[in-house]
């Protein structure tokens, strides 16, 4: 029987599988094959975005997998052009059309784009969609504590913030805010970009002690903290490997050693100046 990831409860009542298949950067054809393979292997959470340009491929992969739509947790995100109440609805409908679905489980504002200062209205539009039952949950991506504070002050609580996070970028201040507010963290690029830390003694030692690969150890480091992770992989064997992380636990010392790899470096893009 295929492995299945456990779920994390979201504030609005949804249950989100803790491990997602990331789909950036893959084109539609690559995505369709990767999604079908991942779902067959046991994944039940697929992550995409308007900006990835592969929502049609995600939809094709879901249909080709034979897995019922109601068993799949589907996340997508929308761009700055839709940062308004009506724009969020337009983005939702466009994503549904490309995906070939009628509902989306989690819809996110992809970047805050503070230069245009409309991200609060974008979240307001998401809250309206959830109230109507069109989406199961709503959230944001790449929001900083300042951006989250403005949204919360306006009366809206994002259920998820998807951010760059890995052992070299542990984002302690942002994670503290998430814990205080009850926002679930999802890590994109959870294995890094280049993944130099995968060869660190902290990771290699833990991998040897548990009979796991370095990538499995790092993914376990994420989920053991209650962080969801969305590693990208188009290789069926690697997909199954990434999913095989729920039969062991890292010790407190191993967790601390991996967290100590944080180099304090800036993330790849500053949410104050970058966005889609």
Which residue range is the domain that position 97 belongs to? 7-195+227-235
Residue 161 in any domain: the answer is yes
Residue 56 in any domain: the answer is yes
Number of domains in the chain: 1
Positions marked catalytic: 52
What residues contact residue 102 under an 8 Å CB cut-off, 6+ apart? 96
Please, are residues 202 and 169 in contact by the beta-carbon 8 Å criterion? no
At 264 the pLDDT is 80
Flag whether 222 is marked binding.
no
At 1 the pLDDT is 52
Residue 113 in any domain: the answer is yes
At 194 the pLDDT is 77
Please give the Cα distance from 149 to 147 (Å, whole number): 5
Please give the Cα distance from 170 to 264 (Å, whole number): 8
2 confidence band (pLDDT: 50, 70, 90): low
Residue 213 in any domain: the answer is no
What residues contact residue 38 under an 8 Å CB cut-off, 6+ apart? 21, 46, 61, 233, 239
* CATH number of the domain encompassing residue 107: 3.20.20.100
Q: What is the pTM of this model?
A: 0.96
pLDDT tops 80 at residue 107: yes
Residue 267 in any domain: the answer is no
């Amino acid at each position: 029987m295929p492995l299945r990831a456990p779920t994390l409860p979201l504030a609005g009542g949804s249950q989100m599988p803790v491990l997602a298949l990331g789909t950036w950067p893959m084109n539609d054809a690559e995505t369709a094959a990767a999604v079908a393979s991942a779902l067959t292997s046991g994944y039940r959470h697929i992550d995409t975005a308007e900006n990835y340009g592969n929502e049609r491929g995600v939809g094709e992969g879901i249909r080709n997998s034979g897995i019922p739509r109601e068993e799949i947790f589907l996340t997508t995100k929308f761009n700055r052009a839709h940062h308004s109440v009506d724009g969020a609805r337009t983005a939702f409908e466009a994503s549904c059309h490309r995906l070939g679905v009628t509902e989306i489980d989690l819809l996110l504002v992809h970047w805050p784009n503070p230069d245009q200062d409309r991200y609060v209205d974008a979240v307001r539009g998401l809250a309206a969609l959830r109230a109507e039952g069109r989406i199961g949950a709503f959230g944001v991506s790449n929001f900083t504590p300042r951006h989250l504070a403005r949204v919360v002050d306006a009366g809206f609580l994002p259920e998820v913030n998807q951010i760059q996070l890995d052992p070299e970028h542990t984002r302690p201040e942002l994670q503290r805010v998430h814990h205080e507010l009850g926002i679930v963290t999802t890590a994109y690029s959870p294995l890094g970009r280049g993944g130099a830390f995968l060869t660190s003694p902290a990771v290699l030692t833990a991998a040897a002690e548990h009979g796991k690969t370095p990538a499995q150890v790092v993914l376990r480091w994420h989920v053991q903290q209650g962080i969801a992770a969305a590693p990208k992989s188009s290789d069926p064997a690697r997909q199954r490997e990434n999913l095989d992380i729920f039969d062991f636990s890292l010790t407190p010392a191993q967790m601390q050693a991996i967290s100590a790899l944080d180099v304090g470096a800036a993330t790849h893009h500053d949410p104050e100046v970058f966005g889609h």
